[in-house]
Structure 1
Amino acid sequence: MKDGRGRLFYVMGPSGAGKDSFMLVVRKQLANQLLVAHRYITRAASAGGENHVELSDEEFRLRQQLGLFALDWEANGHRYALGCEIDSWLASGVDIMVNGSRAILPRAQARFGERLVPVMVTVSPDILGRRLRSRGRESEDDILRRLERARVQSRGLPDSVWRLDNGGPLTETLRQFQGYLQGEK
């Protein structure tokens, strides 16, 4: 909030890297420094994971047509959006963290410009594989595809990306993030 314009911490990372867990810790530990915004998703709110607003496909399309989303995309059979309320928060100088998507990072950068701070949450392939298998939601073939996609997506990111290794305790991941905030990295 240096110049009265907030920053948008745009968190990305493969499924199983611990983005939701990291953002929950941020919500609890850094509540006086930034807001963690919810997303709008065409997925049941009871499905677990992140705090989000569940919308039917029809509700999503209507909100999209009304211009109520700052950014929206499709992935993994669902539709996702960031609400236009984040524009007001950013204009008020509030720093915000959102759960984004690597696939639309260029669109997010074009939309939010220098206010956008890309944050990549990663873990080693071994840890990611263990986490995906322990969830029991996917076949081994699906897990192998996710591991390959994670490997490919970690390449070609801009130098400006804040990279957080979430392979250890969440307190360590939070410490890495705070290091970036304080300009230590």
Structure 2
Amino acid sequence: MPKLFYVLGASGAGKDSLIDAVRDQFSDRLMVAHRYITRPASAGSENHVALSDAEFDLRVERGLFTMQWRANGMRYGVGREVENWLEAGLDVMVNGSRAYLPLAQGLFGKQLEVVWISVSQQVLRERLEARGRESAEEIAQRLERAVEYESLKPHDAICLDNSGALADTVAQFACRLDQKLCQTYSAQNRAKAVKL
């Protein structure tokens, strides 16, 4: 049965980086859904489709979204193409919303698997400081929220630790995606360790 990998994690945990890496490395077997968002295409690091509120409303009226929600003063949608890909036997990955998770689980049932991206507090602090978008106070607030967020992790989530190299996180995901991929990534990591 094809899976819908629903990616969740605190801001700064590296969701977009993981999704981009998965798109590059598993494009032959897994589709990554772009989100439709009412923010400019140049804003944020996510590769999304920018819509005005009027365009978003039109897509809602025409039933073009399989999922939609509001967060941080913006509207987010995931297109019906996700359903088509799953029906065609393809695994799909989407950048999800924790608040929308119960509804998504109701829609997709056992096909949906939560992919929970975690990162240590120290690494998260360093990443937030490096991107330079938040003040010290805002960083402290994000760190607090990350602790709260972690407490909401579903018990059956696929948990990926993204505190180290992105390649290691992708290898963790490969092991959950396919046993043969897991063996390939393990061999690559062993070879890399020998070279070091």
TM-score by length of 1: 0.91
1:15-164 alignment runs, 5 A limit = 15-164=11-160
Native 8 Å contact 1:12 1:102 kept in 2: yes
Q: For 1:116-159, what per-residue CA distance to the aligned partner results, in whole angstroms no more than 9, with x for missing partners?
A: 01001110111111111211112222222222221111113222
Which 4+ runs in 1 deviate beyond 3 A? none
TM-superposed CA distance for 1:48, in Å, is 4.0
- For residue 102 of structure 1, what is the amino acid of its counterpart? R
Q: Matched residue of 2:129: which SS?
A: helix
TM-superposed CA distance for 1:43, in Å, is 1.1
Q: Matched residue of 1:46: which SS?
A: coil
User: How many equivalent residue pairs?
Assistant: 180
CA–CA distance in structure 2, aligned partners of residues 76 and 37 of structure 1:
20
Q: CA RMSD, aligned part only?
A: 1.4
Larger radius of gyration: 2
- Residue 168 of structure 1 is matched in structure 2 by 164
TM-superposed CA distance for 1:12, in Å, is 0.8
Native 8 Å contact 1:37 1:97 kept in 2: yes
- For residue 97 of structure 2, what is the amino acid of its counterpart? S
TM-superposed CA distance for 1:78, in Å, is 1.3
CA–CA distance in structure 1, aligned partners of residues 22 and 44 of structure 2:
18
Task: Structure 2: give runs of 5+ residues left out of the alignment.
Answer: 183-196
Native 8 Å contact 2:116 2:153 kept in 1: no
TM-score by length of 2: 0.87
- Residue 186 of structure 2 is matched in structure 1 by none
